[in-house]
């Protein structure tokens, strides 16, 4: 009898270990750390995200890999910094770059993306919303591991004239089914796109549940990006009095619908959900943009407002409810954590910047000491270990107001200033706004330098930079005739000749 009981316990344990959870990544666009009520936003217009935080684990120190959309998303999908995966430019020093529709490059074939990795374990994957890792056919989601796609390879900029510049395409799987503004309308900030993204998400979840297939859902609406949009249900409803506020309310509604769907289907305890944002809120949008809370500056910068994001992990029955952790987390940790849960080994032929968060999520470890690196383009601007951040370069920007209403002497500099030989150090637990650098003669300053420097030295010594993918632009490669355009009679004539040139990044 005792032997039988032992075998039953072992068998149950074995089945539990072998179970592959569904994985959902909710990745917002330009949402700031202070945009959610769980992080103190006064408007309290994110009840579903806040409930998600109460039912799961909230990270107070959760970081993106870049302060701008495309490199951030490349790192989420690869688990590697942009400087490694090639999503940066060498056209100018320390300049941010992304993937407009005249970009020639995209995510490298050498990089192994999350859906490709999880496919080895039988996962079916879908991306809904903004891709931004290259719009040419070889870079599109279905050619990079995803099984399904509904959304756009680009952001919703426009409207364009379809003569000098084509309106951006919206895809269903591998074919364009229309274009922003002409077929998928966005008018004065009014659009049903987020509602479409919500429906696509719930339909996908229901289909995979019926099929009994583990799934990866990458849900990434871009409604919060300038110019923000919302549907009639939320248009003009925000206490903030801005379209951005309306858009935040609507994506929060989407979070609620998706989590409720998981509960209704009885798969909530089999589904791990991550919530975060690609970069901080955009400072130049001022009162029409997001909120980075007490953090300094925002999108485009390597100050905390550009890199530190909302971070919530939800998995009923596995992640304990109501936990707030100070563990340093990164969006690059998601792929490593997902691989662990799927039983897939990470490739050993390259370095990864993400770590497995499961020991933290399950309460096995309270704190894993690890570095966070803050890159701006091709330059390492700062590094954080524990509570200390060491800043080697400072730059807000001479022409753009990335830090409106915020000025810290010798910290928010309009020109690039190299401080590598004499770094600035912040204690981020008592000074998250980076307003009070440690005195350089203090013992604490010296201790911080001694703590962080070995991590930086090792990082530099082992760095193998990827080939920069964001150097060249050409109007000939814009979205003139995407796959499927002939089916809806919406192919546009391209320019007569190439305009290949170095991209004119000025971020």
Q: At what angle do helices 47-55 and 243-264 cross, to 10 degrees?
A: 50
Distance between CA atoms of 389 and 63, rounded to whole angstroms? 13
> What secondary structure does DSSP assign to 410-435, as a single string?
TTS-SS-EE-TTS-EEEETTT-TT--
The neighbouring-strand residues paired with 150 are: 128, 172
Chain mean position to CA 478: 24
Q: Are 388 and 427 in contact (CB under 8 A)?
A: yes
Is 135 catalytic? The answer is: no
How many Cα atoms within 13 Å fall on the side-chain side of residue 283?
A: 27
H or E element in which residue 85 lies: helix 82-85
| Residue 228 CB coordination number (10 Å) | 26
Residue located via tokens 């970009």:
103
Which residue of the set 16, 19, 93, 132 is catalytic? Answer: 132
> What secondary structure does DSSP assign to 357-410, as a single string?
-HHHHTTS-S----EEEEEETTEEEEEEETTEEEESEE---SSS-SSTT---TT
Helices and strands (DSSP H and E) totals, the chain: 11, 19
> What secondary structure does DSSP assign to 313-356, as a single string?
EE-TTTSPTTEEE---EETTHHHHHHHHHHT-PPPSSS------
Distance between CA atoms of 336 and 189, rounded to whole angstroms? 37
> What secondary structure does DSSP assign to 2-66, as a single string?
HHHHHHHHHHHHHHHHH---EEEEEEESS--GGGSGGGT-TT---HHHHHHHHHSEEEEEEE-S-
Is 160 catalytic? The answer is: no
Which residue of the set 19, 69, 188, 491 is catalytic? Answer: 69
User: Which tokens is 142 given?
Assistant: 């279905």
Hey, which residues are catalytic here?
Answer: 69, 132
């Amino acid at each position: 009898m005792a032997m039988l009981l032992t075998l039953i316990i072992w068998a149950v344990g074995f089945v539990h270990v072998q179970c592959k959870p569904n994985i959902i990544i909710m990745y917002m666009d330009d949402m700031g750390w202070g945009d959610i009520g769980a992080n103190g936003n006064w408007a309290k217009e994110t009840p579903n995200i806040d409930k998600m935080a109460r039912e799961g684990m909230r990270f107070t120190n959760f970081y993106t890999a870049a302060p701008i959309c495309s490199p951030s998303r490349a790192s989420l999908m690869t688990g590697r910094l942009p400087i490694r995966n090639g999503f940066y430019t060498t056209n100018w020093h320390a300049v941010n770059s992304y993937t407009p529709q005249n970009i020639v490059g995209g995510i490298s074939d050498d990089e192994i993306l999350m859906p490709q990795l999880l496919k080895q374990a039988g996962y079916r994957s879908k991306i809904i919303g903004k891709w931004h890792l290259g719009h040419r056919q070889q870079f599109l989601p279905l050619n990079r591991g995803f099984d399904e796609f509904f959304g756009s390879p680009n952001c919703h900029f426009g409207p364009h004239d379809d003569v000098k510049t084509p309106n951006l395409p919206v895809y269903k799987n591998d074919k364009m089914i229309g274009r922003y503004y002409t077929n998928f309308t966005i008018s004065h900030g009014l659009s049903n796109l987020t509602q479409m993204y919500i429906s696509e998400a719930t339909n996908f979840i229901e289909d995979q549940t019926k099929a009994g297939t583990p799934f990866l859902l990458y849900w990434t609406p871009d409604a919060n990006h300038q110019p923000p949009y919302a549907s009639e249900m939320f248009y003009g409803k925000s206490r903030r009095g801005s379209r951005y506020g309306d858009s935040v309310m609507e994506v929060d509604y989407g979070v609620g619908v998706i989590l409720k769907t998981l509960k209704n289907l009885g798969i909530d305890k089999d589904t791990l959900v991550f919530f975060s944002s690609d970069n901080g809120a955009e400072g130049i949008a001022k009162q029409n943009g997001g909120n980075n809370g007490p953090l300094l500056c925002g999108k485009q910068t390597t100050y905390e407002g550009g890199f530190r994001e909302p971070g919530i992990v939800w998995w009923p029955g596995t992640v304990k409810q109501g936990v707030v952790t100070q563990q340093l987390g990164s969006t690059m940790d998601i792929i490593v954590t997902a691989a662990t849960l799927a039983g897939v080994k990470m490739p050993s032929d390259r370095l990864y910047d993400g770590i497995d968060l499961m020991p933290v999520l399950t309460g096995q470890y309270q704190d894993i000491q690890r570095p966070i690196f803050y890159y701006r383009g091709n330059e390492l601007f700062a590094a954080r270990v524990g509570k200390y951040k060491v800043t080697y370069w400072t730059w807000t920007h001479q022409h753009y107001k990335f830090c409106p209403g915020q000025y810290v002497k010798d910290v928010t500099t309009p020109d690039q200033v190299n401080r590598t030989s004499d770094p600035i150090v912040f204690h981020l637990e008592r000074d998250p706004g980076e307003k009070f650098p440690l005195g350089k003669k203090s013992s604490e300053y010296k201790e911080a330098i001694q703590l962080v420097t070995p991590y930086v030295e090792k990082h530099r010594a082992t760095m193998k930079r990827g080939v920069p993918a964001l150097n060249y632009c050409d109007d000939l490669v814009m979205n003139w005739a995407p796959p499927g355009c002939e089916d809806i009679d919406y192919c546009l004539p391209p320019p007569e000749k190439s305009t290949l040139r170095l991209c004119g990044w000025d971020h």
